[in-house]
Amino acid sequence: MAREVRITVVGSGYVGLVAAVCFAELGHKVTCVDNDQRKVEELRAGHTPIHEEHLEELLGKHRGKGLSFDTNLHESAKQAEAIFIAVGTPQGEDGDADMSYVEAVACELARSLEHYTVITEKSTVPVFTNEWIRKVIERNGGERELFDVTSNPEFLREGTAVSDFLHPDRIVVGADAARAGEVMRAIYEPLTSGAYYQRKDAIPGGCSAAKTPPLLETSTKAAEMIKHASNAFLAMKISFINAVSNLCESVDTDVEQVAKGVGLDARIGPRFLKPGIGYGGSCFPKDIAAFRAVAEQEGLDFGLLTEVEKINTAQKRRFVGKVRSTLWTLRGKKLAVLGLAFKGGTDDIRESPAIDLCKMLLEEGCKLTAYDPAAMERAKHELPAGEKMHYAAGVMEAVKGADAVLLLTEWPEFAKLDLDAVHKAVRYPIVIDGRNLYEPEVMAAHGFTYLSMGRPPVYPAKSAHGAEKKK
């Protein structure tokens, strides 16, 4: 039978908050610590600062019971059997991950340990971080027999992070000490034994009592490498299919058919073979830069990653080129922007291709009216409302009088637009789709000039010359 583990999670961002809530869901006693008093008060009141499916539900279920929030790391760490470090590791100017927040936590922990505690990297960190955490704790007075440091990378997709945590493809634990490995196995035992999936109130997902997630035990360095290598490979798949989509456009064929044929190969698989305006978010851009920086520090040329980044950057310029080629000139054009988050299902705009595209179009003199179901408040910090930047309360307000509609984030509601209503509302029936949300033939049948990624453009069924100005 699973035992309760007293856990402290340091950091209440995307990784830390999801981890804390999910550990509580597994039956552990969890304290989530953050030095932001305002955020802690909001969490204590049941308000979630991020948009994630199931997160608010589980916060309400466990808040004040198995889950608490605090600003005092010293007191919380003294009570914990396991401490997960989930603070930010932003990208520095040279591409390296900024480890100053992790170091600050390690220094504080050195003064807090009173009994054996497992300290675990949950943040995305480069190889050797485990060793540095241990050194920092020892240098600041932490007794070596009171702790071990492990690595437990997360593989969560924003928007589905809770279900990804509770129904993982794999659980990776890097532990160089047997005692630490035992604690980590106890933490995840409700998942690996299948006990959690037998509960009537379990969050649904791909795992079950008969299909439990594997727990892969590795060295700490291997676990650190697995995280960066996984993200780099997924980003490479995205850039690869985007490069293929550009070639498909040149030879006048459909990349969706090509991607389907490639993805049916069991050695490759269909996931992440979706052409678009490039990857973004808090992980892929930062992790690729950090992974390449580690290689350079070791004297290795990981040029493949450089090309992945180049393709991703070029994809945004290519999309702006599509807009320009369709409208001829951009200055003064009124564009409806549907989507600001870097992907559907989240309010995260970090490294969002949609935000970058908005900035590029504003520099070209366009006037933008944007709508996103979740990310507009965050977007206003990057794109303040003004004479050329407006925010709409809904899709129809955004598209009214637009010279073209730009689809930039794959929100489900954007794939189910009332096309007849949109056609009546816009100035010109032009849609430029950065996410391939529609079939070209459907858009042509509804009277749109439609450009997408890696597919030939189509024009209104009644006109061979594209969209004409509506009367």
Residue 97 confidence (pLDDT) = 67
Q: Do the bridges between strand 117-121 and strand 82-85 make them parallel or antiparallel, or are there none, so unpaired?
A: parallel
Same domain, yes or no, for 178 and 238? no
CATH number at residue 232: 3.40.50.720
Which of these ranges, 115-129, 139-153, 347-361, has the smallest mean pLDDT?
Answer: 115-129
| Residue 336: pLDDT band with limits 50, 70, 90 | very high
Question: What pLDDT sits at residue 462?
Answer: 63
Work out the average pLDDT over 155-174. 94
Q: One of 22, 32, 207, 283 is an active-site residue; which one?
A: 283
Q: How confident is the model at residue 172 (pLDDT cuts 50, 70, 90)?
A: very high
Helix/strand/coil (H/E/C) assignment for every residue in the chain: CCCCCEEEEECCCHHHHHHHHHHHHCCCEEEEECCCHHHHHHHHCCCCCCCCCCHHHHHHHHECCCEEEECCHHHHHHHCCEEEECCCCCECCCCCECCHHHHHHHHHHHCCCCCCEEEEECCCCCCCHHHHHHHHHHHCCCCHHHEEEEECCCCCCCCCHHHHHHCCCCEEEECCCHHHHHHHHHHHHHHHCCCHHHCCCCCCCCCCCCCCCCEEEECHHHHHHHHHHHHHHHHHHHHHHHHHHHHHHHCCCCHHHHHHHHHCCCCCCCCCCCCCCCCCCCCHHHHHHHHHHHHHHCCCCCHHHHHHHHHHHHHHHHHHHHHHHHHCCCCCCEEEEECCCCCCCCCCCCCCHHHHHHHHHHHCCCEEEEECCCCHHHHHHHCCCCCCEEECCCHHHHHCCCCEEEECCCCHHHHHCCHHHHHHHCCCCEEEECCCCCCHHHHHHCCCEEECCCCCCECCCCCCCCCCCCC
Q: Do residues 319 and 385 make contact, with C-beta atoms less than 8 angstroms apart?
A: no
Q: Are residues 311 and 195 in the same domain?
A: no
47 inside domain: yes
In the predicted model, what is the mean pLDDT of the chain? 93
Closest CA to 287 of 332, 331, 230, 237: 230
Round to whole Å and give the CA distance between 170 and 97: 25
The mean per-residue pLDDT over the stretch 269-296 comes to 91
Whether residues 237 and 93 share a domain: the answer is no
Residue 471: pLDDT above 60? no
- 322 and 302 within one domain: yes
Using CA atoms, how far residue 262 sits from 255, 265, 269, 305, in Å, is 10, 6, 8, 22
Flag whether pLDDT at 395 surpasses 60: yes
> Which value, in Å, is the radius of gyration of the alpha carbons in the chain?
24
Say whether both 174 and 292 belong to one domain.
no
Sign of CA dihedral 185, 214, 345, 248: positive
Q: Is residue 377 part of a domain?
A: yes
Q: Does pLDDT of 411 surpass 50?
A: yes
pLDDT the model gives residue 174: 95
* Rounded-to-integer distance, Cα 384 and Cα 377, Å: 10
Do 333 and 404 form a contact (C-beta atoms < 8 A)?
yes
% of the chain exceeding 90 in pLDDT: 85
44 in any annotated domain: yes
Which range, of 121-130, 230-239, 280-289, averages the lowest pLDDT? Answer: 121-130
194-225 confidence digits (pLDDT tens): 999 999 999 999 999 999 999 999 999 999 99
Q: Is the pLDDT of residue 89 over 80?
A: no
Confidence (pLDDT) at 464: 41
Mean pLDDT of 1-17: 91
Is 70 exceeded by the pLDDT of residue 307?
yes
At residue 139 the predicted structure's pLDDT band, cuts being 50, 70 and 90, is very high
* The predicted structure's pLDDT at residue 94: 63
Separation in Å, CA 354 to CA 61, 283, 299, 316: 35, 16, 35, 9
- Same domain for 121 and 179, yes or no, is yes
In 3D space, the residue among 23, 28, 24, 26 whose CA is nearest the CA of residue 5 turns out to be 28
> In the chain, how many domains are there?
2
Q: How does pLDDT run across 247-257, given as a tens digit for each residue?
A: 999 999 999 99
Task: Report d(CA 270, CA 258) in Å as an integer.
Answer: 11
Residue 276 has pLDDT above 70, yes or no: yes
The last residue of a domain, from among 156, 187, 218: 218
Domain membership of residue 1 (yes or no) is no
pLDDT of residue 283: 83
Residue 92, pLDDT > 70, answer: no
Domain boundary, last residue among 149, 183, 218? 218
Average pLDDT over residues 232-254: 96
Between 204 and 289, residue with greater pLDDT: 204
Residues 237, 194 share a domain: no
Residue 130 and residue 205 in one domain: yes
Q: Which domain holds residue 287?
A: 222-471
Q: Which of 192, 218, 244 is the last residue of a domain?
A: 218
Inter-axis angle of helices 284-297 and 220-250, nearest 10 = 120
The answer to whether residue 62 sits within a structural domain is yes
Residues 55 and 191 in one domain: yes
Same-domain status, 322 and 463: yes
Q: Are residues 384 and 334 in the same domain?
A: yes
Annotation marks residue 283 as catalytic? yes
Q: pTM here?
A: 0.88
Q: Report the amino acid identity of residue 213.
A: P
pLDDT band at 99; cut points 50, 70, 90: confident
What does the pLDDT read at residue 159? 87
Residue 235 lies in a domain: yes
Q: What is the mean pLDDT of residues 57-80?
A: 95
Q: Residue 129: which pLDDT band, with cuts at 50, 70 and 90?
A: confident
For residue 223, give the nearest of 122, 100, 99, 96 by alpha carbon. Answer: 122
Which pLDDT belongs to residue 100? 87
**Please, which pLDDT band fits residue 140 given cuts at 50, 70 and 90?**
very high
Same domain? 233 vs 270: yes
Distance separating the N- and C-terminal Cα atoms of the chain: 72
